[in-house]
Homo-oligomer: A and B are copies of this chain.
Amino acid sequence: MGIETKSISIEKVKTSRIDQIDFNNLAFGSVFTDHMLVCDYKNGAWELPKIVPYQNISLDPSSKIFHYGQSIFEGMKAYKDKNDAIFLFRPLDNHKRFNISANRMCIPEIPEDYFMDGLTTLLKLDSAFIPTNAGSSLYIRPFMFASGKGFHASPADEYKFIIACAPSGAYFAGEVKVLIEQTYSRSANGGVGFAKAGGNYAGQFYPTQLAIAKGYNQVIWTDDTEHEYIEEAGAMNIFVRINDTLITGPTSDRILDGITRKSIIEIAKKEGIPVEVRKITVTEVVNAAKAGTLKEMFGAGTAAVISPISAFGFKDTDYALPKLDTPYAQRIKKIITDIQYNKSDDPYGWRYKVTN
């Protein structure tokens, strides 16, 4: 069912700015489509969503978003096939996770129809912005934050739900070299690490900048007690391949339950790739690297898709990963992207057609 699309009011831009976008030189998430979806939560209820020209948001200086980090987001992509049909990938899972994040951050849940009807209406309106060049896609950013006022450290009484979209190129340019973190941590047991809460990301900036200064692109987070268990990267879950087995850590209250991650696990099973979901220790990864049994490491996430890791650093030593002819990363990435761009069958039922 869903809210009737006609109840989403639409105010169109007078002049599109699509001509200002260079689709052959897209950075990640830095130019935006003509419109955005906005929905306000007031007096204990969501008002009807509306689509308006992409524009500034005006907020009282005491809005709690500025003070208490009460915000969540999602990251999705829209894809076009050769007939210009529009597809999403497991979007209902993003909606579910959005509400899981909302609950942990004391933000009201957004109903499924507001999310899905709002999103598909927006995509149809701005469909010309969905890139078709290989490696590019339309990155979709649903987000929700505390707009309610006051300096009391307690949940706000008003919220804004917004969806904005950015035609985007690759998240990483070139090889990805990671540093296994031994000092800083991303999240606490019993904390908010499993939620896509704003504060989880700002907390990573400083340690990540330190790693970048040393020549790495990303930090691999470890547990905050011993720094001995591999957890995840900035915006990616992590897979390692030891001999022929693909391994990824279990999710927990410290780790985001990634949609790419769980898709990879299913694909690997179906492809007959031995796959294990279990704790991975830093010691075992370093030992496997030394013994030559560590064949691959890659990150998995909507923004970065599957990003092969070329080397990892641990305690002042760098360990290079071998260059394989047909790595799992490449094989699985092709299967996923072929489903996303409607280039193959979808035995999993993950592709979601945005119909007209």
A residues bordering B, Cβ < 8 Å? Answer: 27-30, 32, 36, 54-62, 64-71, 73, 75, 103-106, 139, 141, 143, 145-146, 149-155, 162, 164, 166, 168, 171, 181, 183-192, 197-206, 208-209, 224-225, 227, 234-235
Report the copy number of this chain in the oligomer: 2
- In the bound assembly, the distance between CA atoms of A206 and B171 in angstroms comes to 33
Whether A164 and B70, one on each chain, are in contact in the complex, defined by CB atoms closer than 8 angstroms, is no
- Determine the chain B residues whose CB is within 8 A of the CB of A145 once the complex forms: 66
- Determine the chain B residues whose CB is within 8 A of the CB of A235 once the complex forms: 153
Checking B155, B162, B164, B204 against A205 with a beta-carbon cut-off of 8 angstroms, the contacting residue is B155
Closest B residue to A206 by beta carbon equals B106
Checking B149, B152, B234 against A28 with a beta-carbon cut-off of 8 angstroms, the contacting residue is B152
A170 to chain B, nearest CB (A): 11
- Determine the chain B residues whose CB is within 8 A of the CB of A56 once the complex forms: 58-61
Whether B69 and A71, one on each chain, are in contact in the complex, defined by CB atoms closer than 8 angstroms, is yes
A169 to chain B, nearest CB (A): 11
Whether A106 and B202, one on each chain, are in contact in the complex, defined by CB atoms closer than 8 angstroms, is yes
- In the bound assembly, the distance between CA atoms of A152 and B58 in angstroms comes to 22
Checking B69, B73, B106 against A198 with a beta-carbon cut-off of 8 angstroms, the contacting residue is B69
Whether A191 and B188, one on each chain, are in contact in the complex, defined by CB atoms closer than 8 angstroms, is yes
- Determine the chain B residues whose CB is within 8 A of the CB of A192 once the complex forms: 199, 202-203
A43 to chain B, nearest CB (A): 17
A178 to chain B, nearest CB (A): 15
Known: A30-B152, A164-B61, A224-B190. A69 touches B185 (CB 8 A): no
Whether A197 and B202, one on each chain, are in contact in the complex, defined by CB atoms closer than 8 angstroms, is yes
A-B pairs with lowest CB-CB distance, top 8: A199-B199, A29-B151, A69-B198, A69-B199, A188-B188, A185-B190, A106-B205, A68-B201
* 14 cross-chain CB contacts under 8 A: A28-B152, A29-B62, A30-B152, A36-B61, A56-B60, A57-B61, A62-B164, A75-B151, A151-B168, A153-B201, A153-B234, A154-B208, A187-B191, A199-B200
- Determine the chain B residues whose CB is within 8 A of the CB of A181 once the complex forms: 190
A211 to chain B, nearest CB (A): 12
Whether A209 and B141, one on each chain, are in contact in the complex, defined by CB atoms closer than 8 angstroms, is no
Known: A71-B66, A191-B184, A205-B155. A57 touches B54 (CB 8 A): no
A292 to chain B, nearest CB (A): 32
Whether B166 and A62, one on each chain, are in contact in the complex, defined by CB atoms closer than 8 angstroms, is yes
- Determine the chain B residues whose CB is within 8 A of the CB of A61 once the complex forms: 32, 36, 54-57, 162, 164
- In the bound assembly, the distance between CA atoms of A186 and B139 in angstroms comes to 32
Whether A67 and B36, one on each chain, are in contact in the complex, defined by CB atoms closer than 8 angstroms, is no
Closest B residue to A165 by beta carbon equals B151
A145 to chain B, nearest CB (A): 5
Closest B residue to A73 by beta carbon equals B67
Closest B residue to A61 by beta carbon equals B164
Whether A104 and B206, one on each chain, are in contact in the complex, defined by CB atoms closer than 8 angstroms, is yes
- Determine the chain B residues whose CB is within 8 A of the CB of A164 once the complex forms: 61-62
- In the bound assembly, the distance between CA atoms of A188 and B226 in angstroms comes to 12
Whether B191 and A155, one on each chain, are in contact in the complex, defined by CB atoms closer than 8 angstroms, is no
- Determine the chain B residues whose CB is within 8 A of the CB of A198 once the complex forms: 65-70, 198-199, 202
Known: A141-B151, A166-B62. A202 touches B199 (CB 8 A): yes
